[in-house]
Amino acid sequence: MNKLITAVCLTFLSVTSANASRLWWFEAGLGTSYIQTYNDDTTADIRPTVFLAANKKFADNWSIGVAGELLLNKVFELDKSDNLLVWRLPNFNYEITEQLSINFYGGAARYYREHPSFGIGAGVGSSYKLTDRWSIDFGASYFSVDMSTSIPGDLALGKKDELVWASLLLKSRF
């Protein structure tokens, strides 16, 4: 997993350093997500969501970036909170028109449960620009996280959580 993250970061740096005159921009967003978790049973809930990203244009209609998305279950606690942190590595954006764009990404996830849970997944979405600074985003994501432990006899040994969610975010570009 570390080799994959290193390769993605090096690719990102090579693409972005190829033309230093291109513009970087950052995004921050707040919104809500409807998440379903599949394992022995299915659970669903609605969670507040925080989003941060750094992007750089690398072609006429294309940009690449890295982003973090945090789906909160408990705001002031991480361990045993069921919070979900997703790293989008890389996050590709394609501008269809001046106002409308689509994005897709692969990434890694950290699910804050009783036992450490990490996984990989992907997502797609669209963004509609309200102004030069503000946009509304809709996205759908799928991640599989390993919730097994190394404790013999643990009931979670070898199990996976399948996470599917849809997010609606209000984002600001700066």
CATH number at residue 52: 2.40.160.20
pLDDT over 90 percentage in the chain? 57
Which residue range is the domain that position 102 belongs to? 2-173
The pLDDT of residue 161 is 83
Amino acid at 49: T
Q: In whole angstroms, give the CA distance from residue 63 to residue 24.
A: 9
Binned at pLDDT 50, 70 and 90, residue 16 comes out as very low
Secondary element (H or E) of residue 114: none
- For the segment 28-62, what is each residue's pLDDT rounded down to a tens digit? 999 999 999 887 778 899 999 999 999 999 999 99
* Mean pLDDT across the chain: 83
Q: From residue 80, how far is each of 73, 84, 154 by CA, in Å?
A: 10, 11, 17
Binned at pLDDT 50, 70 and 90, residue 18 comes out as very low
Kindly report the backbone phi and psi dihedral angles of residue 7, in degrees, each rounded to the nearest multiple of 5, phi listed first. -65, -40
Q: Nearest CA to 138 among 165, 164, 172? A: 165
For 116, counting Cβ atoms within 10 Å of its Cβ (0-12 exposed, 13-18 middle, 19+ buried), the class is middle
Q: In whole angstroms, give the CA distance from residue 12 to residue 96.
A: 22
- Determine the 3-state secondary structure of 148 from DSSP: coil
- For the segment 69-114, what is each residue's pLDDT rounded down to a tens digit? 999 987 766 666 788 899 998 999 999 999 999 999 999 998 887 7
Count of domains for the chain: 1
